[in-house]
Amino acid sequence: MEKIRSLLPQQPLAVLFDAYGTLLDVYSVGLLAEQLFPGHGSALSVMWRDKQIEYTRLVTTSNHGAHYQPFWELTRSGLRYACKRLKLDLTAEREAQLMNQYRHLSAFPENKAVLQALKDRGIVTGILSNGDPDMLGIAVRSAGLENLLDHVISVDAVRKYKTDPEAYALGEKATGLKASQIAFVSCNGWDALAATWYGYQTLWVNRYQLPFEELGTQPTRTGSTLTDVLGFFETA
């Protein structure tokens, strides 16, 4: 029994969450988008998000990061591209409205209860996000999570976005723990995969019932809500 137990993953000492898409609903901006562009809200929110992530990869991998821009600026550029692609009239006023809404994205309803449950267990908690510090600060306060997080970590510190290994290394630096001692939680399959490759224990929160990435590696765990992160911890 002891030998079998020793082969099991170590119970995490910290849990780090992705922010956008995991704690915060990036598609909630579609409600305002639908008001501004009737019939196009959903399509705009999806294309905006896809282009935002594409831009993070482009600026990280091109010319050794010489074209880095903060996440806020890439978010704005993604919005402008998506509106042009969908032939939507993005006036300065509409852009300001949508960008402000992105600062205050809806939080998933289980966030507070899950974070409180982790705190009650003495588990270190934090965010490890592509978001720049100002964005994350506003989002955390807007969601009422500031007292439930020990760390709010932005990749802006290294000017490289996930999935660059230097971005994931920030979690180890902030907590003083090895990646294998940390659970990383993301709703984004690509993020959960890269974090697994980096060495984290991982939970992929598959909110939308999607297949996982077909690259030969699976996350440590798969769930449907953030509550599934509690499965990492033995119940007394």
pLDDT at residue 1 is higher than 50: no
Single residue among 68, 103, 138 that ends a domain in this structure: 103
Q: How far apart are CA 153 and CA 143, in angstroms?
A: 16
Task: Please tell me the least confidently modeled range out of 2-11, 74-83, 155-164.
Answer: 2-11
Confidence of residue 5 (pLDDT cuts 50, 70, 90): very low
Question: In this structure, what DSSP letter does residue 107 have?
Answer: B
Which of 59, 42, 37 shows the shortest CA–CA distance to 161? 59
Greatest alpha-carbon pair distance for the chain in Å reads 65
pLDDT at residue 236 is higher than 70: no
Residue 30, domain CATH: 1.10.150.240
Question: What predicted TM-score, i.e. pTM, was given to this entire model?
Answer: 0.92
Q: Are residues 150 and 203 part of one domain? A: yes
Q: How far apart are CA 177 and CA 172, in angstroms?
A: 5
Q: How far apart are CA 133 and CA 126, in angstroms?
A: 13
Question: In this structure, what DSSP letter does residue 187 have?
Answer: S
- Give strand pairing partners of 182: 14
The residue whose two tokens read 């982790």 is: 118
Q: Which of 18, 25, 191, 228 is catalytic?
A: 18
Q: Are residues 191 and 151 part of one domain? A: yes
Q: Are residues 120 and 16 part of one domain? A: yes
Single residue among 55, 70, 103 that ends a domain in this structure: 103
What mean pLDDT do residues 95-112 have? 94
Q: What is the CA radius of gyration of the chain?
A: 18
What mean pLDDT do residues 14-34 have? 95
Q: Are residues 82 and 32 part of one domain? A: yes
Q: Are residues 181 and 120 part of one domain? A: yes
Q: Are residues 223 and 135 part of one domain? A: yes
What mean pLDDT do residues 207-222 have? 95
Confidence of residue 10 (pLDDT cuts 50, 70, 90): confident
pLDDT at residue 3 is higher than 60: no
What's the confidence (pLDDT) of residue 9?
Answer: 65
Single residue among 80, 103, 126 that ends a domain in this structure: 103
What's the confidence (pLDDT) of residue 235?
Answer: 56
Strands (DSSP E) contained in the chain are: 14-17, 124-129, 151-154, 182-186, 201-205, 221-223
What's the confidence (pLDDT) of residue 18?
Answer: 97
Q: Are residues 212 and 188 part of one domain? A: yes
DSSP helix/strand/coil, 155 = helix
Domain that holds residue 60: 26-103
What mean pLDDT do residues 95-104 have? 95
Q: How many Cβ atoms sit within 10 Å of the Cβ of residue 2?
A: 5
Tally of structural domains, the chain = 2
What mean pLDDT do residues 10-18 have? 95
Taking a C-beta distance cutoff of 8 angstroms, is the pair 17, 131 a contact?
Answer: no
pLDDT at residue 130 is higher than 80: yes
- Is 89 designated active site? no
Taking a C-beta distance cutoff of 8 angstroms, is the pair 128, 195 a contact?
Answer: no
- In the chain, what percentage of residues exceed pLDDT 70? 95
Residue 206, domain CATH: 3.40.50.1000
2, 19, 103, 150 from 129: Cα distances, Å? 37, 6, 14, 14
DSSP helix/strand/coil, 125 = strand
The residue whose two tokens read 């929110």 is: 45
Confidence of residue 8 (pLDDT cuts 50, 70, 90): low
What's the confidence (pLDDT) of residue 65?
Answer: 85
Torsion of CA 76, 139, 184, 117, to 10 degrees: -160
- Tens of pLDDT, residue by residue over 37-92, are 999 999 999 999 999 999 999 999 999 889 999 999 999 999 999 999 999 999 99
